[in-house]
Structures are given as structure tokens and as C-alpha cells.
Homo-oligomer: A and B are copies of this chain.
Amino acid sequence: MARVVQDIARADAAVIAGLAEAGVATVHEAQGRKGLLASYMRPIYAGAQVAGSAVTISAPPGDNWMLHVAIEQVKAGDILVLAPTSPCEDGYFGDLLATSARARGCLGLVVDAGVRDVRDLTAMQFPVWSKAVFAQGTVKETPGSVNVPVVCAGALVNPGDVIVADDDGVCVVARDEAAAVLDKARQRMANEEAKRARLAAGELGLDIYQMRARLAEKGLKYE
């Protein structure tokens, strides 16, 4: 069952760039509040904001062999997504693998386990979202699979799906929904821009969104 799918479809590069600009919170809302990875997935440093096509890895716990296999499958603009087959926080990835991945055009890593060499990775500005920072070494004994559907931090990721990641966490967008999600994200951002100015001027959300009547109807009392 260990296998590598070599030919995967990816979303349009311009759409991916648009989703990166929108960011996780907006994209998540725009696609109907779905696709978020668990909140324990945290960036190793603040400020990175990326989007890319998922090259997925299903790996045994404590075994990072498949990262080498996956890197060969990476094309420019891809993001590696690794899910262990049972819970693990070992350090699957460090600066050598980042060097290799970046040489292939990889934009970052999402790993439902640990990462190490985080100072070097920060210096390289190679972003990683992980469950843990942990130096624990791994072995290379048991193959897994590359570019198969995985459940990563509670979210289903298919190869070629768009991964959006920033300081808020990680969101996955189905490849064939990416363009539509971007449209909605842009509408949302335009709408928010107008609201932001009014809120900054001291107008209340209660009035802008006309919430008072509905709140009263639902029984809210002022004392």
C-alpha cells in the first residue's frame, strides 16, 4: 500500500496567489467555515503568509523517509503536508530537508507532528506549521505514501488542494472550489473594508448590522 502518485492536478497559480493574499480567516469564512486544521497547528515564527498546492505525505510515526520521496514530487509553489498514521510529535523535518525542499520550489511545510532546527528554519524564512517543536530524531525503515488523501490535524487534504497558512493557522481549499472561494473571499474583503472605516469612526456593529431588533426578539434585556 506504499505508493507515490506522481501526476496530480493543481489549482491555477493566480487563484492560489489570491488566496494567499486573503489569508486563513477570510478564506475559511469564504468557503463556508470549513477546512481549518486544528488550532494546535502553529507557525514556528510570526509573519509568514503563504498558499500553495498540497503534496501530501502519509508517514509512519517516527519515520521521515517519505519526505525524501515527496520532495522529488514537488513543483514550484507546492506546500508539503505530512500526516503520521498514528499520533506523533517527533521532529520529521529540519534545515537539511528545508534546503532540499526549497531547491525544488517548495514554499513551506504543514506537519501534524514535530519539527526541529527551528532557528535555522527561521533564519532561512522557510515557514512550517506544526503540532510541536521537538528535536526527536526519526528513522527511515518503513515506506508510506505520497499524494494520497490524508487527514492532517483533523482536516481532509487531497493532493493538489490549496493550502493557505498564516499566523492564524492553516486552511485547506478543495482544488476545484479554489476559484469560487477566491471570488467570495474578495467580496468579503471589499465588504469588510467599508465596514472597517465606519467602525473606526465609532459607529457600532449593533447599528451597522442592524442587530438591535433581532436581539430584542431573542429576549435580550437592558438593565
The answer on a CB contact under 8 Å between A211 and B68 is yes
Q: Kindly name the residue among A72, A139, A199 whose own CB sees the greatest number of chain B CB atoms within 10 A.
A: A199
The answer on a CB contact under 8 Å between A25 and B116 is yes
Q: What is the CA–CA distance of A102 and B60 in the complex, to the nearest angstrom?
A: 31
**Neighbouring B residues of A15 by C-beta, 8 Å:** none
Is A141 an interface position by the 8 A CB rule?
yes
Is A132 an interface position by the 8 A CB rule?
yes
20 contacts between A and B (CB under 8 A): A6-B223, A25-B135, A33-B85, A39-B132, A42-B133, A47-B119, A86-B88, A86-B136, A91-B168, A96-B199, A97-B205, A100-B199, A100-B200, A100-B205, A103-B200, A118-B167, A119-B167, A151-B154, A151-B155, A151-B156
Other than the known A2-B218, A36-B86, A143-B219, what 18 A-B pairs have Cβ atoms closer than 8 Å? A2-B221, A3-B220, A29-B137, A39-B136, A45-B46, A61-B88, A71-B204, A86-B89, A102-B200, A103-B202, A116-B168, A119-B168, A134-B168, A135-B169, A135-B171, A141-B141, A141-B142, A143-B220
